[in-house]
Amino acid sequence: MHISNLPSFQVANVLILVSLVLSACSGTSATPASTALQDPVVQNSTDSDSDSDSDSDSDSVVSDPLVQNITDVEFNIEVPSYQSNALQVGVVWDDRNLAAQWVGDEFWSVSDELPTNTEHVLTVTFFDANGDITLGTFEQSFTTGTNEFEVYQVTADQFNTAAWDDDSDGISNIDELIAGTYASDMSRVLFFSETLGFRHDAIEDALAALEELAASVNIQTDQAGDSLTVFTDENLANYDAVAWVLTSGDVLNADEQAAFERYIQAGGGFVGIHAASDTEYEWPWYGELVGAYFERHPVIQTATQFVEDASHSSTSHLGPTWSRTDEWYDYSINPRSQVNVLLTLDETSYVGGGMGADHPSAWYHVYDGGRSWYTGGGHTSASYAEPDFRAHLLGGLRYAAGLDE
């Protein structure tokens, strides 16, 4: 068919039909010129204006409103338990040096606006501001995200505390209050465990148990495995009592001995556990403070003790007798005439006792101005898991610290 042979109205219809077909093939819509409508939103413009707008658009950068350039990060930090009135927590990320605020208990928090999608090393330092004693540090790479707000958590067990030992005594700063800051209304006890003779396997279990017992009655504690820098007038003045935990041998030099004598004379307290009587044989004053020196012992076995004084805080929880397994000491003298006896061993209940019918095994007394409490028990690690023995120790701590008469 030839278009030239068609009537004029048919030619027009064919052109419209061809236009629609071509538009459908090209994926665009076409409106016949005779029926096209003006878009009321689009303003007419000249070709030159359109070119100008296109150039302007290509030169400018429009930020994506859905992408955050800044994120508000909150650092929530749980620090290891430590008693002091001058604790601080510092947070460093890139050039940001932030001071966290105490929230309660062992929890601290700080927040800041940080750039998104950025990585830097995060360092958190837990320290005692009195002397700037570092107690523990946390260090880890931290990358911010793109959220408007995010939280980063640091837990107490993530802190490295073992690396910080400012006085080089083998005990980390976190385990001793060497900065000298304390809550004024709390008692303080030093656990001293140096050995230059026999060293008991139970020492660590003993220290752990004593720490738990002290914490249960709000007694602050330090540990010292060496006397160096510890047995001085200035340092000993920080404590209500010093517990000699399974010590042995000649552990103090002459100056340290003199300082400890002055400490007791000023009203300090002494706790002796088991091998504390196997210590300082050449220091008679110490032997009188303890009450008696160790002499011998049979094999570990079960024995029965008679409770002579049930009114003392270290024996008030017991009945008339107390049977348990331990290493039972004989002493070089019977201390009864110099001390108040709490417990005596029934030598008919075990094999190898050498002191006879009157065999004291725990006692207390006031000596040279101070308070002294001693127990012969505690050789075995199992002792420190026994509820009755733990209560016995706690009563001794309370007495020596001046909390109980």
Q: Which two tokens stand for residue 118?
A: 């950025």
Contacts for 361 with CB less than 8 Å, ≥ 6 apart: 305, 328, 329, 343, 344, 345, 375, 376, 377
User: pLDDT, tens digit, for every residue of 140-172?
Assistant: 999 999 999 999 999 999 999 999 988 777 788
* Predicted local distance difference test score (pLDDT) of residue 47: 43
**pLDDT over 70 percentage in the chain:** 81
Do the Cβ atoms of 381 and 352 come closer than 8 Å? no
More confident residue, 42 or 269: 269
Pick among 3.30.1360.40, 2.60.40.10, 3.90.1200.10, 3.40.50.80: CATH of 70-158: 2.60.40.10
Q: How far is CA 107 from the centre of its chain?
A: 11
pLDDT at res. 405: 73
Q: How far apart are CA 364 and CA 291, in angstroms?
A: 8
**What stretches of 266-312 show up as alpha helix (H) in DSSP?**
284-290
pLDDT at position 29: 39
Encoded tokens for 332: 């070089």
In whole angstroms, give the CA distance from residue 330 to residue 355. 6
Taking residues 347-362, report their average pLDDT: 98
Indicate if the pLDDT at residue 257 is higher than 50. Answer: yes
165-169, 302-306, 327-331: least confident range: 165-169
pLDDT tens for 363-390 read: 999 999 999 999 999 999 999 999 999 9
d(CA 206, CA 214): 12
The predicted pLDDT at position 64 comes to 53
Q: Is the pLDDT of residue 282 over 60?
A: yes
| Residue in 206, 208, 168, 213 with CA at minimum distance from that of residue 187 | 213
Which residues fall within 8 angstroms of residue 379, CB to CB, at 6 or more apart? 200, 202, 274, 275, 300, 326, 327
What fold is seen in the domain 186-400? Rossmann fold (3.40.50)
For the chain, the structural domain boundaries read 70-158, 186-400
5 or 391, greater pLDDT:
391
b/e code 361-379 from CB counts within 10 Å (16+ = b): bbbbbebeebbbbbbbbbb
pLDDT at 46 over 60: no
User: pLDDT per residue over 48-103, tens digit each?
Assistant: 444 444 444 444 444 455 555 999 999 999 999 887 778 899 999 999 999 999 98
Domains 70-158 and 186-400 share a fold: no
Q: What is the mean pLDDT of the chain?
A: 85
pLDDT higher than 50, residue 197: yes
pTM higher than the cut 0.95:
no
